[in-house]
Structure 1
Amino acid sequence: MFYEKNNELSKNQTSSPSSSSVSKRVYTVEEIIEILGVSKTTAYNLVNSGSFHCVKVGGHYRISKKSFDKWLDDIDETINDCQVCE
């Protein structure tokens, strides 16, 4: 489910002609909400949990795509060890 949504978001990304050779390196909180299908509160709890690398730029969080994708991949291995639900 997560992977399909992630792939769908990647396909739907529109890029300007000048940035067509640059791949997306960060997600927004809104994209995390869409990928995971969680509430805004849960998404911000995840961002603040330190589970993956993120920075705040101009009042908005930017989440490292590489870090988030690795975290998401690792969930499959530890599906019963939810870091946010504890």
Structure 2
Amino acid sequence: SAYLQVVACEDNISKWKADIREYEERITEAKEWIAQEEIKKQEFAAQAVEVPRAKIDELAHAGIQHYSDGLAISSEVDRLTNENNVL
């Protein structure tokens, strides 16, 4: 009968609405996971940048030290050359 068809339709609609609520909950949960993962990704990206930055700072310091040592040696060579010229 038509009445039973209406009841069947209402049951289907009710079931599908329940499915939609479940999917929406899962979507909300997945969005939260994505947000948490984005935060972790940013933290790891910051750490990945820090490692090279520390290495660059270390190498820059070593380069400056070598340059300073070179200047000191150059000054000493100039002094010795001048002394040699005087003699």
Given the two structures, how large is their TM-score scaled by the length of structure 1?
Answer: 0.21
Question: Of the two structures, which has the highest relative contact order with CA contacts closer than 8 Å and spacing of 6 or more?
Answer: 1
The structure whose residues are more often helix, as a share, is 2
Q: Which has the larger radius of gyration?
A: 2
Given the two structures, how large is their TM-score scaled by the length of structure 2?
Answer: 0.20
